[in-house]
Amino acid sequence: MKSLVAVRLFIFLVLLLRISLPLQAQTALQQPVAGRIEHLGSFASKLVEPRAVDVWLPANYDGKRRFAVLYMHDGQMLFDSTTTWNQQAWNVDDVVTRLQRDGQLQDVLVVGIWNAGPRRHPNYFPQKPFAQLSAAERDTV
């Protein structure tokens, strides 16, 4: 059963993860259909510049039971189309709610870490391969 859940979670992630352009401005999040979103406006880190983080808590989250945690990048793309560059959200909250309701996914909450806008590519791109690119390729990335 655990391997089936892992496979479904992997497929879920593959379908959701796609390259997005950097977000230029942050706006207030709309409330999801199910559960709730806790928005942390400027989460600090010792490794990268501060960025927004959204935590989606399913409707059955009460803080008493343990839930798995799914961490996702490009957090501004996950829940609310008004925070995306293309006005299209991945609707992660809707998909997770449906999979949980159908018994296909364990209880999970989602942590969406927003990208750093214009610094998205340098933050995500591995440094050693980046150093091996030509100057023109580095400028493009």
d(CA 81, CA 58): 19
67 in a domain, yes or no? yes
106 in a domain, yes or no? yes
93 in a domain, yes or no? yes
Please answer whether residues 78 and 90 qualify as being in contact, where contact means their C-beta atoms are separated by less than 8 angstroms. yes
36 in a domain, yes or no? yes
Provide the domain count of the chain.
1
pLDDT score at 18: 39
24 in a domain, yes or no? no
d(CA 4, CA 137): 40
105 in a domain, yes or no? yes
Q: How confident is the prediction along the chain (141 residues), in pLDDT tens digits per residue?
A: 555 555 455 555 444 443 333 333 334 456 677 889 999 988 888 888 899 999 999 999 998 999 999 999 998 988 888 888 888 888 899 999 999 999 999 999 999 999 888 888 777 877 788 788 888 988 887
132 in a domain, yes or no? no
Residue 47, number of CB atoms within 10 A of its CB:
5
Q: Residue 63: give the domain boundaries.
A: 2-17+29-119
Please answer whether residues 110 and 17 qualify as being in contact, where contact means their C-beta atoms are separated by less than 8 angstroms. no
133 in a domain, yes or no? no
Bridge partners for 39 per DSSP:
54
